[in-house]
Copies of this chain bind each other. A is one copy, B any other.
Amino acid sequence: MESKVGEIVELNNRKCKYTGNSIISVMEEESVKFNLNFKNLFINSQRTFSETEIVYRNKRRMTYNTFFNRVKGLAAGLESIGVKMGDTVAVIDWDTDKYLEAYFAVPMMGAILHTVNIRYSPELIYYTMNHAEDKYVIIRDEFIPILEKNRQMFDFIKGWIFYSDDGGIKTALSPGYNYEDLILREKYELPDVDENSTATIFYTSGTTGFPKGVTFTHRNLVLHTLALYNGIHLAPLEIRRNDNFMMLVPMFHVHSWGLPYAALLNGHKYVLPGKYEVGSILELVRKEEVKFSAMVPSILYMILSYPNLSEYKNDLNGWRIVIGGGALPKGLAMMARSFGITTIGGYGLSETAPVLSVALYNDSVKNLPDDQRFDYSISTGIPIPFVNLRVVDEVMHDVPEDGKSIGEIVVRAPWLTSGYFKDPEKTRALWKGGWMHTGDLAVKYPNGYITIVDREKDVVKSGGEFIPTVILENVLSEMKGLGETAVIGKPDEKWGERPVAFILGKPTKTKEEIVLHLQKYVDVGRIQKWWIPDEFIFVDTFPRTSTGKADKKELRKMIGKPQGS
């Protein structure tokens, strides 16, 4: 080779810098190349944490050693019924140990894991499974009837793998296989999957039209796992080796925020709650000494509203919870704190694997008095390693970091989806200008913290100005006796839109009382007077999205047509 060191040369049509190792191009392709895939990332977990446990409710428990043997067994079993690299395998289940086995086995064998949203209607379940081109389905017994009814529609499925916590299964879905029969004991060597192979797919609902599929590669998820764990050792989380994990983010939802992978890489006991039932969740927190969880605000509301909660006071103390999927209301965080629970904000999207920021303490706040740090811990937080997060105006200029100027969050990170599955047009919009557009509006503070003030699609625009609904919901949450709130825009002839607040629960407060409460925040400058909603509507129940958030699209429908027209 006659190239000079440092020179740019063409090798296999790839531009490479000649580094002096004349052999490097051959080596890189053939042997030195090391794939960032799950097999390689978890290569030592089974042995290092051989005795650490994985617990499914009060029903089953096993060690990491057993778990990883079962993962390899499941991969062997799936292969034996015809699953090939690149095939998509759907899972339809609550958060169980078997789901966790599929989380590892399916990508590790080079297949693609489709985590089906079990909150969807049967029509959307069909739509997403068909769109994802699922070939095999792992399904829990209680979900079988939904699919069985329309089984002629699922003729594209080549095999159904069933399981039940309680014994036998009868179904007309075929060909059918028993999950436990599939866990083969024979030796199986996992393949060395290319790091850019797709590992997972799932669907995210938009404001309009059908759900959109997002895919993630092995490389995406490996790097998300490593960076996430590099983040969560900071205060106030301070995750340590002996902290037991139980995630209350559904496993169908953005990899349970990636924490199952982070946990099993680092040897944390991992507790799976099955179907979410507050009584059972609290029993698990007690019995398994759970110290770290993640969930959406509505789940925490449910837990803190549990009638016999005071019996668990000792068990709740020291529990650290990351709240995502929606802002962490201050009132909720204070209620949690009264039980010794530390809650902090976290932020990400289905499109971002998901974690972008966590409200950990950075150097500018770590030594502040507790009540001042508290406000930072419930913010949208600071970006974790690798995340390049900007808040920009319409022409992609960064807005001033003054805690006031509102812009859209755009990001770059090594674990963002490359695009929407089979939808080049929406993909182009998502990645416009080489940055992923989140559609979230936020302000940035001089010390690096960001706070989301609204979703672009939920924003209320009144008299040409934004009213940030997330901030309004937050100050409403601080009023004692008020439940969860959701502020939406109501069409208004004069102002364009005016805010209306929906409040969950019985009407315990009058409009005057609530306005008086809000006026206090006007007085200290936290909100503007003209942001105060025109109406406060108490409701027994909220329409919710499949991830448990208040569904503002549905709430807007409840308001109906513009009244002025």
Binding site for B on A (CB under 8 A): 5-7, 12-14, 16-17, 19-24, 27-28, 30-32, 34, 36, 40-45, 47-52, 64, 86-87, 133, 194, 196-198, 213, 215, 223, 226-227, 229-230, 233-235, 238, 240-241, 265-267, 360, 362-364, 382-388, 412-414, 416, 418-422, 424, 427-428, 431, 433-435, 447-448
Contact = CB atoms under 8 A, between A and B. Distances in A.
A47 B448 contact: yes
Given A17-B194, A32-B416, A50-B364, 10 more contacts: A19-B198, A21-B421, A24-B419, A31-B433, A32-B419, A32-B431, A36-B223, A43-B388, A44-B383, A51-B364
Given A17-B86, A421-B21, A230 B34 contact: no
Q: Which of A32, A41, A49, A384 has the most CB of B within 10 A?
A: A32
B420 A21 contact: yes
A212 to B, nearest CB: 11
B434 A386 contact: no
Contacts of A17: 86, 194, 196-198
A47 B382 contact: yes
Copies of this protein in the assembly total 2
B50 A362 contact: yes
Contacts of A227: 226
B44 A384 contact: yes
Given A17-B198, A387-B44, A24 B418 contact: yes
Contacts of A196: 16-17, 28
Majority SS at the chain A contact face: loop
Contacts of A7: 86
Contacts of A234: 48, 241, 267
Contact of A230 (B20, B226, B388): B226
A316 to B, nearest CB: 24
Nearest to A135: B6
18 contacts: A6-B133, A7-B86, A13-B14, A17-B194, A20-B133, A27-B419, A28-B418, A31-B431, A32-B419, A41-B385, A43-B388, A44-B383, A44-B386, A44-B387, A47-B362, A48-B234, A51-B363, A52-B363
Given A20-B421, A27-B427, A196-B16, A233 B233 contact: yes
Contact of A49 (B22, B47, B266, B362): B362
**Minimum-distance CB pairs A-B, first 5:** A6-B86, A31-B434, A51-B363, A13-B13, A34-B414
Contacts of A240: 233, 238, 240
Contacts of A387: 43-44
A362 B50 CA distance: 8
A76 B233 CA distance: 34
A266 B233 contact: yes
A11 to B, nearest CB: 10
Q: Which of A49, A52, A198, A433 has the most CB of B within 10 A?
A: A198
Nearest to A422: B20
A28 B416 CA distance: 11
Nearest to A421: B20
Contacts of A19: 198, 215, 421
A241 B366 CA distance: 12
Given A17-B198, A230-B266, A234-B241, A133 B31 contact: no
Contacts of A419: 21, 23-24, 27, 32
Contacts of A226: 223, 226-227, 230, 385
A36 B229 CA distance: 17
A412 B422 CA distance: 36
A16 B34 CA distance: 17
Nearest to A63: B363
A313 B295 CA distance: 47
Nearest to A36: B414
A234 B223 CA distance: 20
Q: Which of A17, A133, A240, A266 has the most CB of B within 10 A?
A: A17
